[in-house]
Amino acid sequence: MKVPILIPNIFNHPFTYNSDLKLNEGDYVLVPFGKKQVIGVVWDDFEKKTNKNFIIKKVFKKLDIPSLKKNTIKFLNWFSEYNIIPKGMALKLLLLSNKAIEKVPIENLDQYKTTKIEKKIELTKDQKVCFKKMNKFNQNFRVHVLQGTTGSGKTIVYFEALRELLNKGFQGLVLLPEIGLTGQFQAKFIEFFGFEPAVWHSGITKKNKEIIWNGVVNNKIKVVIGARSSLFLPFKNLGIIIVDEEHDQSYKQDEGVIYNARDMAISRAYFENIPVNLITSVPSIETYNNIKKGKYSLSKLDQRYLNASLPNYEIINLNKIKLEKKSWISKEMIKKVNFHLKKGDQILFFLNRRGFSPNVLCKKCFSAYSCPNCSVNLVYHKNKQNLLCHYCGYKALLSRNCSKKGKCDFIFSGPGVERIAEEVKKNFPTKKIVIFSSDTMNKKSSSDILKNIIDNKISILIGTQLISKGFHFPNLNCIVVVDIDLSSQGHDLRGTEKNLQLYHQLSGRAGRTGKPATVYFQTYNPNTQMIFDITNKDPNIFLDKELEIRRKNNLPPFQRFIALLITGTNEKKLEKEAYRFKDFIKNSLEGKILGPVNAPIFRLKKKYRFRLLIRAAKSLKVQNSLQKNIQKFKLSAGMKLTVDVDPINFN
């Protein structure tokens, strides 16, 4: 019997094998491929037609694993078509380092055992209304958005929806945007449900991943809390998907196989015919547009849990209060922070820049310290005593020979969180201070730091946007945005939307237990409309304005964008190749192609980069026409084409 087997590789089609075994669609098998033995999956009836004669190899064996569901195969086929990636690479996302796990010791799954989950927490009146709406069609596919101000108790509402489906025997998947959130979230989950969920992200050990993969495929694990990649686990009986902080840009995978996990979660729910819930304080523009069109249902929590009040906002006009030399915090601000410290409040100084300084210059030769591999400046990290490229990881020391004479005499331009921390220590020398960024919070000690913050053993935090991602700090009642002007710079299509979401999330860290709280904005900009927009209690006012701008200019979500990036080591040859590619596809493409232009970061990891952008109507026609063109076009040696459907960043 001939069977089509999909291999987790760069091919967009299954290969034909012979088998004496009784095989069905979705079965995991071991097959010869080249000189190796590889795991494959019996795919649907698609066969690549060819006139060549070739020897058909034989399937070695069928693995003792429940078959991959037909609905999941349909999802992976669609995922491949939508994101313009080979089917084999879609399958690779589902397998574990190209492996399927047949057996794990049964005792390894004991920690995930569940029984019937009793109701432990009584919902408030508003939460009950939202739960009823969310639960209305909780058996079939539908997209429901739970929008609620930060600290309003959204998590408990969707825990209730999850509890009901778990008690009916289904599995559940909760997607979180950041690895750093899983620890605090896991503790909240155990408190509510009384059992341990499986946690899945890139930091999990190989052994634990094997246990979880096997537990999921055999329906022994009921709940997975995970980052983007958990969406591709081979669930046996998935009953619900929850996407927490659905607006978060971290759901976009920008390297390797490029996709948006939120959008793919909705699609997986569609193919599985199960409900998906999107949770947010400020919806993404795409989600908001779908709510307005009636495609998604909506419930809202407008009041914080136990009626805790939202923080007040105050603007510190730096045009009227002169900053001292080499200072980034005004005297006015220091007075206000002292007032909060006397009340026992925790303080957060917010600046979305890692390191000590983003620019280092020589006073003698005026040359910047830049990355030799990328067209960006190196960032000075004082704690590590080195200069670092945040894109390729290149490191260098400050000491450098000067073209004028001797060594370079450097100056630091602009602050990062480490520089703000130094100034804070000078002004508040007796207070316990900690930096909260990806440099400090992705370590083993981060859980201890979190506990100390929650227990109010740390008085002052200096944080980047990582701190806005859903953490609960009960004593945080004063937030100082050191430089709001920094966020409003640049030409990012989604810049204003990102700011709205960031500062709503950030302000939501303050005043969660009912004490009065204030967010202070330091600014040189006398026009405070942007601050008013991003702090308005009703973010829909801003979203309506933004949608209208997008509609008038034919921008997403009213049109589809596909970004194309061509990279290579020879700048002139690469530019010619970019134009050759454009000329090749422009007449047979279901859309308009713009460019090529230099990418904003023109050189990255020693490779030059040219960008093209396709604008088209929202249908799969543009992907299908582009896919056909890419297959026919032969890219010159040493060059690479990357396709990004629905891009978020244009670096």
Q: How far lies 420's CA from each of 284, 351, 433, in Å?
A: 31, 8, 11
Band of residue 5 on the pLDDT scale cut at 50, 70, 90: very high
Burial 553-585 (b: 16+ CB within 10 A, else e): eebbbebbbbbbbbbbeeeeebbebbeebbeeb
Instruction: Please report the pLDDT score of residue 120 as a whole number.
Output: 77
Q: Please compute the mean of the pLDDT values over residues 505-509 and round it to a whole number.
A: 74
Return all residues near 284 (Cβ < 8 A) that are at least 6 apart. Answer: 246, 247, 262, 497, 501
Rounded CA gap, 349 and 425, in Å? 12
Which DSSP string do the residues of 223-278 spell out, in sequence order? Answer: EEEESGGGGGS--SSEEEEEETTTT-GGGEE-SSS-EEHHHHHHHHHHHHT-EEEE
Q: Please compute the mean of the pLDDT values over residues 527-540 and round it to a whole number.
A: 75
* Position 6 pLDDT exceeds 60: yes
Band of residue 617 on the pLDDT scale cut at 50, 70, 90: very high
Q: 64 and 21 in contact (C-beta within 8 Å)? A: no
Instruction: Please report the pLDDT score of residue 567 as a whole number.
Output: 97
Q: What are the E-state strand segments in 244-392?
A: 252-253, 259-260, 275-280, 297-301, 312-317, 346-350, 359-362, 379-381, 386-388
| Cis amide prior to 596 (ω within 30 degrees) | yes
Q: How far lies 90's CA from each of 42, 250, 487, in Å?
A: 14, 20, 36
pLDDT in tens, 454-465: 888 999 999 888
Q: How far is CA 469 from the centre of its chain?
A: 11
Instruction: Please report the pLDDT score of residue 467 as a whole number.
Output: 78
Instruction: Please report the pLDDT score of residue 150 as a whole number.
Output: 77
* Position 184 pLDDT exceeds 60: yes
Report which secondary-structure segment, H or E, holds 485: helix 484-487
Residue 321, CB-side half-sphere exposure with 13 Å CA sphere = 15
Instruction: Please report the pLDDT score of residue 260 as a whole number.
Output: 97
603: closest CA among 280, 439, 436, 370? Answer: 370
* Position 174 pLDDT exceeds 70: yes
Instruction: Please report the pLDDT score of residue 309 as a whole number.
Output: 66
Band of residue 445 on the pLDDT scale cut at 50, 70, 90: low
pLDDT in tens, 304-316: 665 566 778 888 8
Band of residue 59 on the pLDDT scale cut at 50, 70, 90: very high
Dihedral sign, CA of 132, 133, 135, 139? positive
Instruction: Please report the pLDDT score of residue 589 as a whole number.
Output: 93
Rounded CA gap, 171 and 597, in Å? 47
Please, what is the average pLDDT of the chain? 89
Q: Please compute the mean of the pLDDT values over residues 6-10 and round it to a whole number.
A: 95
Q: 509 and 540 in contact (C-beta within 8 Å)? A: no
Q: Please compute the mean of the pLDDT values over residues 551-557 and round it to a whole number.
A: 93
Q: How far lies 330's CA from each of 312, 324, 347, 484, in Å?
A: 19, 8, 15, 14
Of 167-176, 257-266, 497-506, where does mean pLDDT reach its minimum? 497-506
pLDDT in tens, 377-392: 999 999 888 999 999 9
Band of residue 323 on the pLDDT scale cut at 50, 70, 90: confident
Instruction: Please report the pLDDT score of residue 428 as a whole number.
Output: 95
Instruction: Please report the pLDDT score of residue 512 as a whole number.
Output: 63
Instruction: Please report the pLDDT score of residue 448 as a whole number.
Output: 82
281: closest CA among 452, 151, 378? Answer: 151
Alpha helices (runs of H) in 38-144, residue ranges in sequence order = 70-83, 87-94, 125-134
Q: Quote the radius of gyration of the chain (alpha carbons, Å).
A: 27
| Cis amide prior to 234 (ω within 30 degrees) | no
pLDDT in tens, 119-171: 778 899 999 999 999 988 767 999 999 998 877 889 999 999 999 999 999 99
Instruction: Please report the pLDDT score of residue 468 as a whole number.
Output: 75
Rounded CA gap, 152 and 124, in Å? 10
- Exposure of 20 by Cβ count < 10 A (0-12 exposed, 13-18 middle, 19+ buried)? exposed
Instruction: Please report the pLDDT score of residue 615 as a whole number.
Output: 96
Instruction: Please report the pLDDT score of residue 513 as a whole number.
Output: 66
As a residue count, the chain comes to 651
More confident residue, 45 or 572: 572
Q: 624 and 645 in contact (C-beta within 8 Å)? A: no
Q: Tokens standing for 503?
A: 């500062």
Instruction: Please report the pLDDT score of residue 492 as a whole number.
Output: 63
Instruction: Please report the pLDDT score of residue 342 as a whole number.
Output: 93
Q: How far is CA 275 from the centre of its chain?
A: 21
Instruction: Please report the pLDDT score of residue 102 as a whole number.
Output: 92
Instruction: Please report the pLDDT score of residue 489 as a whole number.
Output: 54
Band of residue 80 on the pLDDT scale cut at 50, 70, 90: very high
Alpha helices (runs of H) in 558-612, residue ranges in sequence order = 571-585
Return all residues near 70 (Cβ < 8 A) that are at least 6 apart. Answer: 25, 26, 44
Q: What are the E-state strand segments in 83-150?
A: 142-148
Q: 461 and 348 in contact (C-beta within 8 Å)? A: yes
Angle at 532 between CA 542 and CA 519, to 5 degrees: 120
Instruction: Please report the pLDDT score of residue 511 as a whole number.
Output: 66
Band of residue 55 on the pLDDT scale cut at 50, 70, 90: confident
Band of residue 330 on the pLDDT scale cut at 50, 70, 90: very high
Rounded CA gap, 76 and 68, in Å? 11
* Position 368 pLDDT exceeds 60: yes
* Position 491 pLDDT exceeds 60: no
Band of residue 181 on the pLDDT scale cut at 50, 70, 90: low
Q: Please compute the mean of the pLDDT values over residues 401-405 and round it to a whole number.
A: 88
Identify the structural domains of the chain with CATH numbers, from first to last: 2-69+82-94 (3.40.1440), 106-306 (3.40.50.300), 308-356+415-547 (3.40.50.300), 560-645 (3.30.70.600)
